[in-house]
Amino acid sequence: MAARTRRTKEEVLNSKLTKIDEEIKKLTEKINVLSEQKKNIDKELAILKAQKSKAERAAQLTELANLMDSNGYTIDELKELMSKPKPTVD
């Protein structure tokens, strides 16, 4: 039967530190991956918000054009109306 050697307290503690360091390295790598994913999602979200804003603006312009057409105004007539000062409410 082979004799079993016992590790010293220092060896045990060093082993624990090594395991902790390895775990920290794994978690750091995981954090880096998640940070990169977050950055990509943030970019994607910004693009979606910009597209939504453009779509809303386009809808407003379409609504304005439809209103203008339904009332028989031309662009030049609207420019003339808008160049006049707004009436003030007293």
Q: Are 78 and 68 in contact (CB under 8 A)?
A: yes
Give the residue-averaged pLDDT of 21-48.
98
Window from 3-7, 13-17, 71-75, 77-81 with minimum mean pLDDT: 3-7
Of 42 and 74, the one with more pLDDT: 42
- What is the chain's length? 90
Per-residue pLDDT band for 6 (boundaries 50, 70, 90) equals confident
Which residue is listed with tokens 């979606």?
48
Of 49 and 4, the one with more pLDDT: 49
Per-residue pLDDT band for 89 (boundaries 50, 70, 90) equals confident
Sign of CA dihedral 76, 80, 82, 83: positive
Amino acid 1: pLDDT: 55
Measured between alpha carbons, how far is residue 89 from residues 47, 48, 85 in Å?
42, 41, 12
